[in-house]
Amino acid sequence: MEIKKNPDMEIGRNSSLYFAIGLAIMLFISWQLLEYKTYDKSIVDIDIVSMDEVFEEEIPIVNVNTPPPPPPPIAVQESIQIVEDVTEIEETIIESTETNQNEKIADPIISVSDVAVEDVEEDVEVPFSVIEDVPVFPGCEKGTKAEKRACFQLKMEEHVAKNFRYPEQALDLGIQGKVFVIFVIDAKGYVSSIRSRGPDKILETEAERIIKLLPKMIPGKQRGRPVKVPYSVPIVFKYMAS
């Protein structure tokens, strides 16, 4: 006997319809998932505040021993005694100091001999190139002013050459150069205010030593009065290589 199928019970008859419905449902669900929005939730921490019973501390009452207020001042009754004035007071008469044209003022007569004139020595410094009478070096007393000036410079060169000594320390270190020594021949003929400027302190010290050995001179004069005269001497320190 052949088995026949019931056409109403055939499963694959409406399969395309079911597939279309299922596809539509899946598309709808996918669209809803894509459109779904989420928001950050603020985190709120809700705490419970518990209040304990307030403890009131009892402050003890301290009695401060305050001193009693001072007593009120006692009123002193002054007794006034009236005494008769028996002393006579001499009144001072104030005379006027104003003058008029009729009064004559006596002019004191002062003679020239009564005036004390004090000689003040001026600290004048005149350069060597413009001074009238140059300082006189010992041995240059004779001659004219020009001859004394030339003799002074010659004697100064001879003095430097005679007392020149090259410092051993400068030789060992190879120090050489020119030292300018500036000094002053004061109003008494002595050498003072010696200053030097050179390439090294060793050479400066030696140059100042030479100038300190200068003898006393006859001071330079300007308008017949002794004055200070500044002078400058160059001293060359140079060694010859062997």
* Percent residues over pLDDT 90 in the chain: 34
pLDDT tens for each residue of 105-135 = 655 666 666 666 665 556 778 888 888 999 9
pLDDT of residue 39: 66
User: Which of 27-36, 40-49, 53-62, 129-138 comes out lowest in average pLDDT?
Assistant: 40-49
Residue 129: its pLDDT value, please? Answer: 87
Average pLDDT over the chain, rounded to an integer: 79
Question: What percentage of the chain's residues is helix, strand, coil (to nearest 5)?
Answer: 30, 15, 60
Which domains are present in the chain?
A: 145-237 (3.30.2420)
Query: Do the bridges between strand 221-222 and strand 191-197 make them parallel or antiparallel, or are there none, so unpaired?
Result: unpaired
- The per-residue pLDDT for 238 is 85
Taking the C-alpha atoms of residue 235 and residue 209, their distance in angstroms, rounded to an integer, is 12
Cβ-Cβ contacts under 8 Å for 188 (sequence gap 6 or more): 216, 219, 226
Q: Which residues make Cβ contacts (< 8 Å) with residue 229, sequence separation at least 6?
A: 125, 126, 127, 128, 131, 134, 135, 184, 185, 219, 220
